[in-house]
């Protein structure tokens, strides 16, 4: 029995106590996991019922309003505008549901409204989305939300079509509903689901119509389940909410208005009671664990005294105070450990001596090579940098990792760190070109290539080389610049300008950002070349390029298309602003002169201006339109600006 207790096997029996505690912990974890799943299931059922109740209520309110407008529409048939105003005045009871009511004719012009708002009667709504839809549909429609001009509140238009006795479309009747202060959502402001439960209503385009404690225009970004709901899906899910917290969500559709109801409940609120219960159990487990800990401490301390002596002797060997272990103990396993340690220590000392010799040889080789080289361990720490690398990067051997990482250009640092970590984890080669700040203030372009070194199929670390490629990068940058710029004026050439025009056209197609293109030819430029020579003509071109570049914004693009043809691209610019810029360019360029043999030469501009339009699917279309306007300016006597685009009708949008 004594021999058994003196063995390590016997002492491992003490681990049974710890095993028991682990089992208890596992049971607690399983209880927590099962409880969470059960709580989530019950609350998802609850959310489903709540979302259905809310969606049904909103659907009923929307239908009531649309039905009221539907009943009003036939009564307005055949009335003059004055009679329509009187009829709307007699239906003031509808103002309990609507902020205002309007009636349009078949051409989209507002015939009457109530209450009367200055500027609304006579307004042409034919180009609005909702009117175009209503003129081809017999069904009611709820518009996208917009901000009222007077109140500043969020509004929507609920519309029904009007038809004459022959069934032909004769206009619309629309009622404005206040989403901010109206009664449509007021009943949702009370708490439905505890302190943190929330009810939200969103339009099909993702705009927030109602959400407690938030502005009505704030968008819910980053919710995949919401994207599905906006496409018509209904159901329940568990995902990250807008606050980043795990949340239970339920979605229901409001079909008449094409809206979505979202009911959410944070998991933290759902699981709070379960957590409180388990905390109590955890405290009980903790008290029991403390009692067992003190009991086991006394037992283990008594049993591990020989191991403490072994630990002390190993520390003395490591400090050089003794060469080998000399342990006197009756524990057979410890005597075997001591013998094995002594053999390994002897082998270690022999291997260490051999490694010192090899290290000296390697240092001599790396120190004499003119190529910058480094050695890193498997964790990515640089253990060695040869003199050539230190000189190239302007570092000293005592620099810290933070220092040389800080010398990497900020735009390259994160990508370099990510790629380095990837190479460390996968063993793949590391190869990257990056900018490095030299100690003398110069920024170098360097190319780093590191490969993993293996011994007996086991990775040992990484060896890398660093080359200075600054001159090569500068040459490549110069070649890229020359490929897209005119060598005479320094402006963009046709290739560079058309690339930027394609980018602006793609941005317009994607976001609707307005942009304007100006093309112009130089009037009376040929006499300068013929009488003063090409040198005088080149000087005039350079001066014009300089004046035009000064006159436009830094974000605009100026190009010499070839010969005496120039182009200007004005991103994020309206046609009215572009016309002012074109007139300014025409004026300042007319003041540019060159002199040859006492004769003063000047030129004027024939300018064509066009904005991007719907249907522009290629740069050739825009260029052709601007070119035609430029030719028209030249045909009209030159020194003129011709606009290729009609008015865009923005007055309508400003009134609504």
DSSP 30-78: HHHHHHHHHHHHHHHHHHHHHHHHHHHHHHHHHHHHHHHHHHHHHHTTT
Q: Is the pLDDT of residue 413 over 50?
A: yes
Position 569 scores a pLDDT of: 94
* Average pLDDT, integer, range 342-349: 76
* Average pLDDT, integer, range 24-49: 77
More confident residue, 656 or 169: 169
Q: Is the pLDDT of residue 217 over 50?
A: no
Q: Options 3.30.70.270, 1.10.10.10, 3.40.50.2300, 3.30.230.70; which CATH number does 484-655 get? A: 3.30.70.270
Among 62-76, 173-187, 299-313, 631-645, name the one with the lowest average pLDDT. 299-313
More confident residue, 302 or 238: 238
How confident is residue 125, by pLDDT bands cut at 50, 70 and 90?
A: confident
Let me know the angle formed at the C-alpha of 483 by 479 and 485, rounded to the nearest 5 degrees: 110
Average pLDDT over the chain reads 81
CATH code of the domain made up of 369-474: 3.30.450.20
Instruction: Return the number of other C-beta atoms located less than 10 Å from residue 99's C-beta.
Output: 19
356 DSSP assignment: H
Q: Which tokens go with 430? A: 């590391």
CA-closest candidate to residue 500, choices 571, 574, 578, 576: 571
Q: Which tokens go with 245? A: 């917290």
More confident residue, 332 or 539: 539
Among 9-18, 409-418, 493-502, name the one with the lowest average pLDDT. 9-18
Answer yes or no: are the C-beta atoms of 28 and 278 closer than 8 Å: yes
Query: Taking the domains of the chain in order of start, what are their residue ranges?
Result: 9-294, 309-356, 369-474, 484-655
More confident residue, 485 or 356: 485
Cα–Cα dist 107/628, whole Å: 34
Q: Is the pLDDT of residue 277 over 90?
A: no
Position 371 scores a pLDDT of: 81
Instruction: Return the number of other C-beta atoms located less than 10 Å from residue 233's C-beta.
Output: 14
Among 187-191, 386-390, 568-572, name the one with the lowest average pLDDT. 187-191
Q: Tell me whether the CATH fold assigned to 9-294 matches the one assigned to 484-655.
A: no
Give domain 9-294's CATH superfamily: PAS domain (3.30.450.20)
Instruction: Return the number of other C-beta atoms located less than 10 Å from residue 340's C-beta.
Output: 11
Asked, as a colleague might, if the bond just before 115 is cis with ω within 30 of 0, I would say: yes
Q: Is the pLDDT of residue 568 over 90?
A: yes
Among 59-73, 106-120, 199-213, name the one with the lowest average pLDDT. 199-213
Q: Is the pLDDT of residue 500 over 60?
A: yes
Position 648 scores a pLDDT of: 41
pTM to 2 decimals?
Answer: 0.42
Q: Is the pLDDT of residue 214 over 70?
A: no
């Amino acid at each position: 029995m004594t021999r058994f207790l003196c063995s390590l096997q016997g002492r491992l029996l003490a681990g049974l106590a710890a095993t028991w505690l682990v089992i208890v912990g596992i049971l607690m974890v399983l209880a927590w996991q099962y409880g969470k799943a059960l709580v989530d299931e019950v609350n998802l059922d609850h959310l489903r019922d709540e979302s259905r109740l809310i969606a049904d209520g909103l659907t009923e309110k929307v239908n009531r309003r649309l039905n009221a407008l539907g009943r009003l529409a036939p009564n307005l048939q055949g009335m003059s505008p004055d009679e329509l105003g009187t009829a709307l005045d007699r239906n003031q009871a509808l103002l309990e549901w609507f902020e205002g009511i309007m009636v349009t004719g078949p051409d989209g012009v507002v015939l009457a409204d109530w209450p009367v708002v200055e500027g609304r009667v006579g307004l042409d709504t034919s180009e609005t989305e909702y009117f175009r839809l209503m003129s081809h549909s017999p069904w009611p429609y709820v518009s996208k939300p917009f901000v009222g001009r007077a109140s500043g509140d969020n509004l929507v238009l609920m519309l029904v079509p009007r038809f004459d006795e022959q069934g032909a479309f004769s206009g619309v009747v629309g009622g404005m509903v206040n989403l901010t202060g109206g009664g449509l959502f007021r009943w949702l402001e009370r708490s439905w689901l505890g302190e943190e439960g929330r009810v939200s209503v969103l339009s099909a385009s993702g705009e927030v119509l109602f959400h407690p404690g938030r502005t009505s225009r704030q968008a819910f970004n980053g919710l995949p389940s919401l994207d599905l709901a906006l496409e018509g899906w209904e159901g329940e899910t568990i995902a990250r909410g807008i606050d980043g917290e795990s949340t239970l969500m339920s979605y229901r559709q409001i079909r008449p208005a094409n809206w979505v109801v979202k009911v959410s409940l944070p998991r933290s609120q759902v699981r709070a009671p379960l957590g409180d219960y388990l905390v109590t159990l955890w405290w009980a487990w903790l008290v029991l664990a403390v009692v067992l800990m003190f009991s086991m401490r006394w037992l283990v301390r008594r049993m591990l005294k020989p191991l403490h002596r072994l630990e002390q002797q190993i520390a003395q060997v490591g400090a050089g105070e003794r060469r080998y272990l000399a342990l006197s103990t009756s524990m057979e396993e410890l005597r075997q450990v001591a013998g094995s340690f002594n053999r390994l220590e002897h082998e270690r000392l022999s291997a260490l001596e051999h490694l010192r010799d090899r290290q000296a040889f390697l240092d001599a080789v790396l120190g004499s090579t003119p190529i910058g080289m480094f050695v890193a361990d498997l964790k990515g720490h640089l253990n060695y940098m040869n003199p050539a690398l230190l000189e190239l990067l302007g570092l000293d051997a005592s620099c810290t990792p933070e220092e040389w990482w800080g010398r990497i250009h900020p735009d390259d640092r994160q990508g370099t760190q990510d790629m380095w970590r990837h190479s460390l984890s996968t063993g793949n080669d590391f190869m990257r070109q990056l900018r490095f700040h030299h100690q003398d203030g110069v920024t170098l372009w360097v190319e780093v290539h590191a490969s993993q070194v293996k011994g007996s199929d086991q990775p040992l670390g990484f060896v890398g080389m660093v080359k200075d490629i600054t001159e090569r990068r500068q040459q490549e940058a110069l070649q890229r610049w020359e490929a897209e710029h005119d060598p005479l004026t320094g402006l963009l050439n046709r290739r560079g300008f058309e690339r930027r025009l394609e980018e602006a056209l793609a941005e317009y197609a994607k976001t609707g950002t307005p942009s304007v293109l100006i093309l112009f030819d130089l009037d009376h430029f040929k006499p300068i070349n013929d009488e003063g020579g090409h040198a005088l003509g080149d000087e005039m071109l350079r001066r014009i390029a300089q004046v035009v570049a000064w006159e436009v914004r830094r974000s605009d693009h100026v190009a010499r298309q070839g010969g005496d043809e120039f182009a200007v691209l004005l991103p994020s610019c309206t046609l009215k602003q572009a016309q002012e810029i074109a007139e300014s360019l025409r004026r300042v360029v007319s003041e540019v002169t060159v002199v040859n043999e006492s004769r003063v030469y000047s030129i004027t501009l024939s300018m064509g201006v066009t904005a991007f339009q719907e249907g522009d699917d290629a740069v050739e279309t825009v260029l052709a339109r601007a070119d035609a306007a430029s030719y028209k300016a030249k045909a009209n006597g030159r020194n003129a600006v011709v606009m290729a685009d009609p008015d865009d009708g923005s007055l309508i949008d400003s009134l609504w």
